[in-house]
Structure 1
Amino acid sequence: MALVKAGVVVLDCAEPEKLAVFYKELLAAEETDATANRVEIRGADGFRLAFRRDVNATPPSWPRPENSLQAHIDFVVEDLDAVERKVVELGGRPLDTKDVAGPFEERGYADPAGHSFTVRTVTPTAPKQG
């Protein structure tokens, strides 16, 4: 019997309500729980994501080294161009990540609060280089 029954990725941000809207739209998710300081959503595939209020949240600066990558989320998608249009429409922005070597195509973005995430057409199998 597993000791842990479920998990959720939690992103700290200054405005959890606004960040939840971004990810709800991007993932076609539904809100499952909300309090004054935390909003949780669940995608159709069961992926859970929550946003916790931190008035002193400092966005990561990845790929720049100062205040670099704290954590990021990988999403597997079918159409990179369609996802990019949706990300930008919702207030996200592409990150300049140079050319990523490997057997898969991927693109990096920042959500409206600055958290980085990657969309890719294939799940990576090789270890991260560098």
Structure 2
Amino acid sequence: MPEYPQLLHTVIDTTEPRRSAEFYRLLLGYIYRPGDEPSTSEVDETDWLVLTDAQGHRKLAFQQVDHFEHTTWPRPDVPMQMHLDFTVSDRDALECQRERAEDLGARLLLDRTDDDDEPLYVFADPSGHPFCVFVG
């Protein structure tokens, strides 16, 4: 049997790696990989950051790019290209996470909470990357 590649983490391009990392760190409860924590200096020139879960498993990385064009989804001009899906246990948790995401700087793109089979919200993170939160 062949050895299959294992997913290490998902890398997100962003013009502001620290801002993006902080958004997802707070939203998902992840922690910085040792050495990637915010510095005490006023200037953060970090161009690559990694977030892990509490066990140290890499989950998300953030890579500095000079330009990022925000998706125009649901209009087709600039497609999503990829997005992250997150689940919560019930509708109350979904509403709680909507409020948290927006408080952290997410922008609501779609409210599909009227769907009895799979209620969800689609957001754009502060860098413009789409992600979904739905009842799983």
Structure 2 CA distance for partners of 1:77 and 1:44, relative to 1, 3 Å: farther
Tell me the matched-pair count. 122
SS in 2 for 1:95: strand
The match for 2:119 is: 105
| Residue ranges of structure 1 left out of the alignment (5+ in a row) | 123-130
1:71 pairs, out of 73, 82, 104, with 82
Query: Does the Cα contact within 8 Å between 1:76 and 1:120 map onto a contact in 2?
Result: yes
Going from structure 1 to structure 2, the CA distance change for 1:118 and 1:52 (only over 3 Å counts) comes to: same
The TM-score with structure 1 as length reference comes to 0.82
How much does 1:99 deviate?
7.1
Q: Distance in 1 between matches of 2:64 and 2:8?
A: 19
Q: Distance in 1 between matches of 2:99 and 2:49?
A: 25
2:8–2:58 contact (8 Å) kept in structure 1? no
After TM superposition, the score normalised by the length of structure 2 is 0.79
Cα deviation for residue 62 of structure 1 reads 1.4
Any conservation in 1 of the 2:113–2:119 contact (CA below 8 Å)? no
Contact 1:16 1:51 in 2 (8 A): yes
- Per-residue CA deviations over 1:27-66 (Å, capped at 9, x if unaligned) read 0110116383111102348460111000111122211211
Task: Give the gaps of 5 or more residues in structure 2.
Answer: 37-44
Instruction: Indicate the larger mover: 80-89 or 59-68.
Output: 59-68
Q: Which has the larger radius of gyration?
A: 2
Amino acid in structure 1 at the alignment position of 2:122: G
Shift, 1:71, TM fit: 0.5
In the other structure, the counterpart of 1:30 is 31
